[in-house]
Each structure stands twice: as C-alpha cells, then as structure tokens.
Amino acid sequence: MKSAEIKDISTKDLQERIETEKAQLAKLKVQHAVSPVENPSIIKKNRRDIARMLTVLRQKNAK
C-alpha cells in the first residue's frame, strides 16, 4: 500500500485498518515460527505498511 493511498483513508478507517494489519502480522509471525512461511517477505511488507499507516495517522492527528 502506497502513502498516497493511505492519505485518502479517513482517520477512523485508518485506525481500524491498523488494528487488522497488526493482528494479521501477529498471525503471520506465529505461523512462521511454527513452520516457515512460503514468502517471508510478506512479514516485512506488512510491518512497513503498518509503519506507513501509523505515520499518516500521526500527521493527521497533528493537524
């Protein structure tokens, strides 16, 4: 997900999206610990998407 796409999302939807992405990341980490995930770069991508969303959320709250 790109930053431009994230900026178009409302604050409430962004918070909900962050929560679901965090839950998905936790689930992926557990799956990877039990048995290796086919594509471990998904974990990295998910973590970075969460960081992007949190950054945009902080920017919106600062305004």
Q: Which CATH architecture has domain 3-62?
A: Orthogonal Bundle (1.10)
Domain ranges of the chain: 3-62
pLDDT digits (tens, 9 = 90+) for 25-58: 999 999 999 999 899 899 999 999 999 999 999 9
pLDDT band at 63; cut points 50, 70, 90: confident
**What pLDDT is recorded for position 50?**
97
Q: What is the value of pTM for the model shown?
A: 0.89
Q: Taking the CB of residue 31, how many other CB atoms lie within 10 A of it?
A: 12
| Distance linking the first and last C-alpha atoms of the chain | 23
pLDDT digits (tens, 9 = 90+) for 2-13: 888 998 999 999
